[in-house]
Chains A and B, each alone.
Chain A
Amino acid sequence: MIIKKLIEKVEGEANLNFEFKDGKISSVDIIFNIYRGIEEILKGKAPRDALVITPRVCGICNHAHLIATVRALEDGLKNSGLEFTLTQKAKDIREFTLICELIQNHIKWLYLTIYPYLEKLLKIERSDSYALKASYVANTVTKAMAIFAGQWPHSSYAVVGGVTCDPTYLDTIQALSYIEDAIRFYEKVVVGINLDDYLSIESISNLDKLGGDFAKILYLLGKNDFNKIGKSFDRFIAFSDSKISKKAKSIITTVSAVEFKFVKEYEQNGSYAKGVKYKNRYFEVGPLARAMINKEPIIKSLHKKYKDATITRVYARIHEVALLLKQAKEILQNLDVTQESCILDSKIDINNISGIGAVEAARGSLIHKIEVENSFIKSYDIITPTQWNLSNNAVAAKAMFGLDSEEIASFVFRTFDVCSVCTTH
């Protein structure tokens, strides 16, 4: 028996075709239909134009695409023999704006996806104005971000050698107020306790300290078997070093190094999205992967009991917001605005380079590869996080196998924070 579902409001749509055998899902085709040909559009353009074009891959993680592009260009310049090091200020500002994008993404996912669809699935009368909550946080953190990046979405403020902004302390103080607003929201509404107390929770035996919407969602997930279902390959990977991740993989809790050369994309029948594997194996990317690689104590504790079940995956994303808020505050408190913003001349030639840029985006590792020949882009390859998680037979599919209802499976699918526009690009 085949059941077809249209999954909407996932940054576009996806079609899921479930095949049932003996009442259980035996296979699922995940189909994304809208293709825009962005890699093709980039061919023949001036290399820096990619800084304006790639953010338009995605309305919700546009900033991650910008950072991946600038890193790919800088990696290429270094490979071609140019020696330079960004100032700490430029690195910190890029990290800060990226963090803001992740926060707004995770909070939107919690309140626009997880809460409404879980209540719908469990036939619970809508109990709260979730969109209002999502809007408040998205609004606040993107203001903080725009102080440096000019705007969100679709900023192009990261350029080879640094950033275009040259903030004053007037700016950093204002941004800090916005971040403190977002922290207050997280404390009062999401976790119900203060941030430091929340971050001191390292074991599931202390989860009773939690309040707020987070406690409510964990209760609902636990009561409805989401601590047992949604398990997948239990293999995790990340490709960028930051405070929340390392360039590494985690298999059965052993963390080891990774190299770009083992990442391979492949065509999939019937979908515009390409699949991707590492050494011919599927890996999960995203907040759970980052936490496993970084050995976050509370995630390890959840994982020990529930493995990579849905509850662990959901927890990891909401937990990451706490880590990001703390970091955002620390970066602003320590930012030295007296350093140079951009250390390379804006006219430096980008003639013949080949580079890779990786970034930990909201949904996981985003990889951009650029080749420039005679000052024009010869090829541009974008591998998005959702390609890792959402290809046929990959991580999300495996998490849905064996379930007896397409409604439950669709919710499990949504917990991966699906992005249709990124998957096809």
Chain B
Amino acid sequence: MNKLKLLWLQSLTCNGNSHSFFNHSDLFSILAHFELIYFPLIETKYSLQDVLDRKVSCDILIIEGSIKNSLEKNGVDIKELIEYYATKAQHIITAGTCATFGGMFKDYDSENINGFAFNRDVPIDNFAKFKSKLISLPGCPIHPKWLSYVLLMIANNKFIPLDEKNRPQELYNITIHTGCIRNEYFEWKIDTQGFGHKEGCLFYENGCQGPFTKGSCNKILWNDVSSKTIIGTPCFGCTEPDFPKERLFFTKTNMGIPQKMPLEVPKRAYLTITGIAKSFKIKRLERKLIEYKNDN
């Protein structure tokens, strides 16, 4: 059986998605399902010049980086090159928030820098043109296992249920909050009191966007071991079209209540629950989780 040809093309990028994917613990068994045409970290039989000269073919196109008008590599217009291979490919994967929505570097030249099929959350021409074969995988960077899930689903000829932005539902229909080890503190509205604590929730004061950010960082852990919120860093919403927002370490509040609600939760419902939860004092959750004492 002929293996599907996999081509990884970079536009305006930090290379973080390449390195993140390279960190996959099963990288080589995943790649064994494909013929690797080009990947920025691994030697293949084709050179970048072959890719630029349109000498290679591809079944799956992975795009890394935001798309900038008139950006050239060795005299070749990268936007045109990506669209050329996109037309040839059977599947197009935008790997990362830059390739999907425009991402962080869009801020520098917003008019000329976009995602492949979106300008932030607004679909652009490529969306209509390539919708039937496009899969959006936002994240800054992409989680290696989100990409391997999509690649293996394609290799096994399985149907991937997508949402309205062509994100796989199995990966993005939960929030970062799902599975967070601080959830008990969220339930009882107990703040973490600054950084560097095992205890407490980061949603109330320290900017955590987990409850309204789509993604599965706390279901499929990073580097197989952890996540931002597990180690006390707020979620910065890096899978969202408007990443990065501003003042990322602070929660915008209104009368002491976070301005932005957990996804699709009505403010009235949130306030009611909060009022009740806060009226109780749960002693176990007020204490330090672990007392390291040398004197007993």
Instruction: Using A36-B108, A139-B25, A152-B223 as known contacts, say yes or no to A48 and B248 having CB atoms under 8 A apart.
Output: yes
Which residues of A (331-349) have their CB < 8 Å from a CB of B?
Answer: 337-338, 340-342, 345-347
Interface size class of B (residues with CB under 8 A): 35 or more
Instruction: Using A34-B71, A46-B247, A149-B231 as known contacts, say yes or no to A166 and B223 having CB atoms under 8 A apart.
Output: no
- Output the nearest chain A residue to B293 by Cβ-Cβ distance: A338
Which residues of A (1-36) have their CB < 8 Å from a CB of B?
Answer: 6, 8-9, 11-13, 15, 33-34, 36
| Chain B residues within 8 Å of A143, by CB | 223-225
State A155–B225 Cα separation when bound (angstroms). 14
Q: Mark B81-118, 1 if CB is under 8 A from A, else 0.
A: 00000000000000000000000110111000000000
- Whether B195 lies near A159 (C-beta < 8 A) is yes
> Taking the complex as formed, is A121 at the interface, i.e. its CB lies under 8 A from any CB of chain B?
no
The stretch of B42-50, B123-131, B151-159, B273-281 in contact with A is: B42-50
Which residues of B (232-250) have their CB < 8 Å from a CB of A?
Answer: 232-233, 236, 238, 244, 246-250
- Output the nearest chain B residue to A375 by Cβ-Cβ distance: B247
- Whether B222 lies near A150 (C-beta < 8 A) is yes
> Taking the complex as formed, is A52 at the interface, i.e. its CB lies under 8 A from any CB of chain B?
yes
Which residues of A (42-74) have their CB < 8 Å from a CB of B?
Answer: 45-46, 48-49, 51-53, 56-60, 62
| Chain A residues within 8 Å of B25, by CB | 139
- Output the nearest chain A residue to B106 by Cβ-Cβ distance: A41
State A211–B112 Cα separation when bound (angstroms). 53
- Whether A135 lies near B22 (C-beta < 8 A) is yes
Q: Mark B62-73, 1 if CB is under 8 A from A, else 0.
A: 000000000111
> Taking the complex as formed, is B74 at the interface, i.e. its CB lies under 8 A from any CB of chain A?
yes
Q: Mark B175-205, 1 if CB is under 8 A from A, else 0.
A: 0000000000000000000111110000001
> Taking the complex as formed, is B23 at the interface, i.e. its CB lies under 8 A from any CB of chain A?
yes
What is the distance, in angstroms, from A332's C-beta to the closest C-beta of chain B?
A: 15
State A38–B98 Cα separation when bound (angstroms). 14
What is the distance, in angstroms, from B228's C-beta to the closest C-beta of chain A?
A: 4
| Chain A residues within 8 Å of B230, by CB | 150
- Whether A13 lies near B74 (C-beta < 8 A) is yes
State A405–B40 Cα separation when bound (angstroms). 25
What is the distance, in angstroms, from B215's C-beta to the closest C-beta of chain A?
A: 12
What is the distance, in angstroms, from A375's C-beta to the closest C-beta of chain B?
A: 10
- Whether B249 lies near A159 (C-beta < 8 A) is yes
Instruction: Using A138-B23, A150-B233 as known contacts, say yes or no to A342 and B246 having CB atoms under 8 A apart.
Output: no
What is the distance, in angstroms, from A294's C-beta to the closest C-beta of chain B?
A: 28
Q: Mark A340-371, 1 if CB is under 8 A from B, else 0.
A: 11100111000000000000000000000000
> Taking the complex as formed, is B168 at the interface, i.e. its CB lies under 8 A from any CB of chain A?
no
- Chain B interface, DSSP helix/strand/loop, else mixed: loop
- Whether B140 lies near A151 (C-beta < 8 A) is no
- Whether A9 lies near B40 (C-beta < 8 A) is yes
- Whether B222 lies near A132 (C-beta < 8 A) is no
What is the distance, in angstroms, from A162's C-beta to the closest C-beta of chain B?
A: 6
| Chain B residues within 8 Å of A152, by CB | 23, 222-223
Instruction: Using A146-B222, A165-B196, A346-B194 as known contacts, say yes or no to A153 and B49 having CB atoms under 8 A apart.
Output: no
| Chain B residues within 8 Å of A282, by CB | none
State A185–B246 Cα separation when bound (angstroms). 43
What is the distance, in angstroms, from A174's C-beta to the closest C-beta of chain B?
A: 7
Instruction: Using A9-B40, A157-B233, A346-B194 as known contacts, say yes or no to A59 and B18 having CB atoms under 8 A apart.
Output: yes
How many interface residues does A have (CB within 8 Å)? Answer: 71
State A162–B233 Cα separation when bound (angstroms). 12
Task: Choose one: A6, A36, A131, A156; the contact of B42 (CB below 8 Å).
Answer: A131
> Taking the complex as formed, is B226 at the interface, i.e. its CB lies under 8 A from any CB of chain A?
yes
> Taking the complex as formed, is A148 at the interface, i.e. its CB lies under 8 A from any CB of chain B?
yes
> Taking the complex as formed, is A396 at the interface, i.e. its CB lies under 8 A from any CB of chain B?
no
- Whether B105 lies near A166 (C-beta < 8 A) is no
Instruction: Using A146-B223, A146-B225, A150-B222 as known contacts, say yes or no to A6 and B48 having CB atoms under 8 A apart.
Output: yes
Q: Mark B250-292, 1 if CB is under 8 A from A, else 0.
A: 1000000000000000000000000000000000000000101
Task: Choose one: A9, A131, A148; the contact of B231 (CB below 8 Å).
Answer: A148
State A342–B246 Cα separation when bound (angstroms). 23
Q: Mark B27-38, 1 if CB is under 8 A from A, else 0.
A: 110000000000
Q: Mark A307-342, 1 if CB is under 8 A from B, else 0.
A: 000000000000000000000000000000110111
> Taking the complex as formed, is A212 at the interface, i.e. its CB lies under 8 A from any CB of chain B?
no
> Taking the complex as formed, is B15 at the interface, i.e. its CB lies under 8 A from any CB of chain A?
yes
> Taking the complex as formed, is B136 at the interface, i.e. its CB lies under 8 A from any CB of chain A?
no
Instruction: Using A46-B247, A52-B248, A153-B141 as known contacts, say yes or no to A421 and B14 having CB atoms under 8 A apart.
Output: yes
State A209–B13 Cα separation when bound (angstroms). 43
Q: Mark A67-108, 1 if CB is under 8 A from B, else 0.
A: 000000000000000000000001000000000000000001
Q: A6-B49, A9-B40, A59-B19 are in contact. List 13 more A-B contacts (CB 8 A).
A: A12-B13, A37-B108, A112-B43, A148-B231, A149-B226, A150-B228, A154-B16, A154-B141, A156-B236, A164-B195, A165-B233, A346-B205, A421-B13
Which residues from chain B sit less than 8 Å from chain A, CB to CB?
A: 10, 12-20, 22-25, 27-28, 40-43, 47-49, 71-74, 104-105, 107-109, 140-141, 194-198, 205-206, 217, 222-233, 236, 238, 244, 246-250, 290, 292
The 8 closest A-B pairs by CB, nearest first: A341-B196, A59-B15, A342-B196, A59-B16, A37-B108, A151-B222, A146-B223, A164-B232
